[in-house]
Amino acid sequence: DAGVTQSPTHLIKTRGQQVTLRCSPKSGHDTVSWYQQALGQGPQFIFQYYEEEERQRGNFPDRFSGHQFPNYSSELNVNALLLGDSALYLCASSPQDTILYNEQFFGPGTRLTVL
């Protein structure tokens, strides 16, 4: 089992550009959540996908959007990049029926640098 995988590992963009990050959940997991982790901070919840729908959203602007595919993999899109979007973007997966009391598995993250 490969666990949660994310691509790319690192990415450098300039202000105003757009970026797409990808996540493949752990086998058997149908729920994917995205988090942003700034340096020295804890992860901040961006949104969660289940059954190809955005089910819940954190305090992030509409520039942040996502998608979930029928195979449960997910994408995070960020438009009009700002310097402040530089962070580690983490994807976490879980089976929906155990998400409340069981661990969510995190991927290694994508390190995004905006210049």
Contacts with other proteins, residue ranges (CB under 8 A): 4, 31, 33, 35, 40-45, 48, 55-56, 58, 90, 92, 94, 99-109
Own/partner contacts of 44-51, CB < 8 Å, gap of 24 or more, are: 46/76, 49/74, 50/96
Distance from the Cα of residue 32 to its chain's centroid: 8
What residue has token string 């009391």? 101
Residue 107 tokens, joined: 């991927």
Least distance CB 99 / other proteins (angstroms):
3
Q: Give the nearer residue to other proteins in terms of CB position, either 11 or 58.
A: 58
Q: Smallest gap, in angstroms, from Cβ of residue 31 to other proteins?
A: 7
**Sheet with strand 74-78: strands edge to edge:** 5-7, 19-24, 74-78, 64-68
Shortest Å distance, C-beta 59 to other proteins = 10
- When the beta carbons of 42 and 84 are compared against other proteins, the nearer one is 42
Q: Which is nearer to other proteins, 17 or 98 (CB)?
A: 98
